[in-house]
């Protein structure tokens, strides 16, 4: 099942996919553009992975200090970074290189502490599409994916749907794609992750308790390009969803 959370007529609603757009829990059927889309679940801690696709690490190799890989590069994101499907992401006027990152987001369904890889997938409730923007102007090196790069307000888009894990039997064999203004710019497959979801859950749960609603952003393949004000960015993962986002300037946020 594909589930969403939306704002409509002054209230927050749970919704499901419908052939005409989406259906609210009270039965009303609405077109996709009639609602404000929110992240499709009650988000807890957001854990993001950097350089989890070898081709993307190579793509950034001129800008990063790379060493032999010994464990995943993980960092946290705040709630203010999150927006939903059809949302607007701010591009500051003074930056030269801001890019999208199409990622598979794995959502935790029950508490996980010291979970081994063999048992890890039982803790996954489902999946959604993430588009996690980065501003490369502020990137320092491999060890410092600092807050200005990856934790900006409106920089992480989640949705449109939370897809039940039972409906995604092969999460490590899903095609990812990104279009900018209708032109295909990024392609990859989740099979190319360096650390797959069971590895990540075992690694993370060894030192922190993962709780229901926590989400792991599993990284992006190569093919990232600069985006500008007015661009429409569409990130898509087979079987998970098609996430639409627009880049806006400072004026839209009163800056």
pLDDT in tens, 23-52: 999 999 999 999 999 999 999 999 999 878
Start-to-end C-alpha separation, the chain? 40
Whether 194 shows a pLDDT value over 50: the answer reads yes
Task: State mean pLDDT over 56-79.
Answer: 66
Answer yes or no: same fold for 1-38 and 41-253: no
pLDDT of residue 68: 45
H-helix or E-strand spanning residue 211:
none
Eight-class DSSP state of 58: H
- At 54, the pLDDT band (50, 70, 90 cuts) reads confident
List, in sequence order, every beta strand (DSSP E) within 25-101.
29-30, 36-38, 46-50, 73-77, 82-83, 87-90, 98-99
- What is the residue whose two structure tokens read 């807890």? 44
H-helix or E-strand spanning residue 6:
strand 2-8
Query: What is the fold of 41-253?
Result: Fumarylacetoacetate hydrolase; domain 2 (3.90.850)
pLDDT of residue 61: 53
Whether 62 shows a pLDDT value over 80: the answer reads no
- At 63, the pLDDT band (50, 70, 90 cuts) reads low
The CATH code for residues 1-38 is 2.30.30.370
Peptide bond into 237 cis (omega under 30): no
Provide the percentage of residues in the chain whose pLDDT is more than 70. Answer: 91
Sign of the alpha-carbon torsion through 237, 41, 101, 211: negative
User: Residue-wise over 61-91: b if at least 16 C-beta within 10 A, else e?
Assistant: eeebeeeeeeebbbbebeeebbbbbbbebbb
pLDDT of residue 228: 98
What does the domain layout of the chain look like in residue ranges? Answer: 1-38, 41-253
pLDDT of residue 146: 66
Mean pLDDT of the chain: 92
pTM of the model: 0.92
């Amino acid at each position: 099942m594909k589930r969403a959370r939306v704002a409509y007529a002054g209230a927050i609603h749970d919704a499901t996919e419908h052939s005409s757009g989406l259906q609210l829990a009270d039965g009303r059927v609405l077109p996709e553009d009639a609602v404000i889309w929110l992240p499709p679940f009650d988000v807890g801690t957001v854990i993001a992975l950097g350089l989890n696709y070898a081709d993307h690490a190579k793509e950034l190799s001129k800008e990063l200090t790379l060493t032999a890989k010994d464990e995943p590069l993980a960092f946290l994101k705040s709630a203010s970074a999150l927006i939903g499907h059809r949302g607007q992401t701010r591009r500051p006027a003074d930056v030269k290189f801001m890019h999208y990152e199409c990622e598979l987001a794995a959502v935790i369904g029950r508490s996980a502490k010291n979970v081994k890889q063999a048992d890890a997938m039982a803790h996954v409730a489902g999946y959604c599409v993430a588009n996690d923007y980065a501003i490369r102007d502020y990137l320092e090196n491999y060890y410092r994916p600092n807050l200005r790069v990856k934790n900006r307000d409106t920089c992480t888009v989640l949705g449109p749907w939370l897809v039940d894990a039972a409906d995604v039997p092969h999460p490590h064999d899903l095609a990812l794609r990104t279009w900018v203004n209708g032109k295909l710019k990024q392609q990859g497959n989740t099979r190319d992750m360096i650390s797959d979801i069971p590895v990540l859950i075992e690694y993370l749960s060894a030192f922190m308790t993962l709780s229901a609603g926590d989400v792991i952003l599993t990284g992006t393949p190569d093919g990232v390009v600069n985006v500008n004000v007015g661009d429409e960015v569409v990130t898509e993962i087979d079987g998970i969803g098609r996430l639409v986002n627009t880049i806006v300037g400072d004026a839209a946020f009163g800056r």
